[in-house]
């Protein structure tokens, strides 16, 4: 019997943001292999008899090296198992889904990609920030603030410093100061608003509003916990939820 690996996007945290397909596969899973970012509220939907393999990742390093994760998936597939490979957000957005799919394809293991709501979409919605907005932002770029070699970020800052394009930075907390400096150095105003969303879509969500000029100091003061996401651009001024946290202030509800 041939197995199959489902690379499933588990969304940003709120289990109600799972697709119907993801929820169906999770509820019937025989084996689940999951990352650290997958919310407990999603793991709670796995059946009691499901074999759970935690390959949880931490910022900048992997608890289980990627090669081992690949081998686990290939071996399970070759052994005939149907596996739900759960990944936070969407498997193909900073999720190494492409790498795992390539390995499975090379090994002749059947697989299917089930998309999920990526953190940019989930966090923006939960914070009431439109990622594009007519007359304000005509484009959106998803960036990672983490470099594989742990070196300094080396974006083409002049291409990024476009005031009509929203920037969403995944894994950007540690490099926030460098990001702000690079963007300001390339001409973006220090008043450009920034939102930092911590644990977006979960009951523990916090949102900080800052600006490129204040970002480094605000991050030190606020100490965002993982996972956190940065949204940079004029759309942040269009945040619609009135009850959110601001620096040094508790949310009203």
Provide the annotated active-site residues: 35, 57
Q: Which stretch binds ligand SAM (CB under 6 A): 24-32, 98-106, 147-155, 225-233?
A: 225-233
- DSSP track, the chain: ---EEEEEE-BSS-GGGS-HHHHHHHHT-SEEEE-TTS-HHHHTTS-TT-EEEE--EETTEESS-HHHHHHHHHHHHHTT-EEEEEESB-TTSSSSHHHHHHHHHHHT-EEEEE----HHHHHHHHHT--SSBTTTBSEEEEEES--TT-------HHHH--TTEEEEEET-STTHHHHHHHHHHTT--TT-EEEEEESTTSTT-EEEEEETTTHHHHHHHH-PPSSEEEEESGGGGG---TT--BTTB----
**Single residue of 73, 176, 179, 197 touching ligand SAM by CB under 6 A:** 197
Question: How many chain residues touch ligand SAM (CB under 6 A)?
Answer: 23
Site for ligand SAM contains 95 (CB under 6 A): yes
CA distances from 151 to 70, 96, 122 (A): 26, 20, 29
Name the minimum Å distance from CB 132 to ligand SAM: 18
In angstroms, give the least distance from the CB of 245 to ligand SAM.
Answer: 14
Task: Find the shortest distance in angstroms from Cβ 78 to ligand SAM.
Answer: 26
Q: Which residue is nearest to ligand SAM (CB)?
A: 89
Q: Which is nearer to ligand SAM, 134 or 223 (CB)?
A: 223
Q: How does 127-148 read in b/e, with b if 16+ C-beta sit within 10 Å?
A: bebbbeeeebbeebbbbebbee
Stretch that binds ligand SAM, among 73-81, 99-107, 147-155, 227-235 (CB under 6 A): 227-235
| Contact stretch for ligand SAM (CB under 6 A) within 44-52, 68-76, 92-100, 148-156 | 92-100
Q: What is the smallest separation between the CB atom of 112 and ligand SAM, expressed in angstroms? A: 17
Considering only residues 137-196, where is the footprint of ligand SAM by CB under 6 A? 170-171
Q: Which stretch binds ligand SAM (CB under 6 A): 15-23, 66-74, 88-96, 154-162?
A: 88-96
Contacts to ligand SAM from residues 27-86, by CB under 6 A: 37
Nearest distance from residue 67's CB to ligand SAM, in Å? 17
201 binds ligand SAM (CB under 6 A): yes
Report the residue from 70, 175, 192, 228 that binds ligand SAM according to the rule CB under 6 A.
Answer: 228
């Amino acid at each position: 019997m041939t197995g199959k690996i489902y690379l499933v996007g588990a969304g940003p945290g709120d289990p109600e943001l799972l697709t119907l397909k993801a929820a169906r596969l999770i509820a019937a899973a025989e084996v689940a292999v999951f990352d650290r970012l997958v919310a407990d509220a999603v793991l709670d939907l796995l059946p009691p008899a499901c074999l759970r393999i935690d390959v949880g990742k931490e910022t900048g390093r992997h608890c289980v090296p990627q090669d081992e994760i690949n081998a686990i998936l290939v071996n399970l597939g070759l052994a005939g198992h149907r596996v739900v490979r759960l990944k936070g957000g969407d498997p193909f957005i900073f999720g190494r889904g492409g790498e795992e799919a390539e390995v499975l394809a090379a090994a002749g293991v059947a697989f299917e990609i089930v998309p999920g709501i990526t953190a940019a979409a989930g966090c923006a919605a939960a914070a009431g920030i439109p990622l594009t907005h007519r007359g304000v932002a005509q484009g959106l770029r998803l960036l990672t603030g983490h470099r594989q070699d742990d070196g300094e970020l080396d974006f083409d800052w002049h291409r990024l410093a476009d005031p009509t394009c929203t920037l969403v930075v995944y894994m950007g907390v540690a490099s926030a100061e460098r990001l702000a400096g690079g963007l300001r150095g390339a001409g973006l105003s220090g008043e450009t608003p920034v939102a930092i969303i911590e644990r977006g879509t979960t009951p523990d969500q916090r949102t900080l509003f800052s600006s490129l000029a204040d970002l480094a100091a605000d991050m030190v003061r606020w100490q965002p916990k993982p996972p956190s996401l940065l949204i940079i651009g004029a759309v942040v001024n269009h945040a619609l939820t009135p009850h959110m946290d601001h620096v040094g202030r508790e949310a009203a509800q």
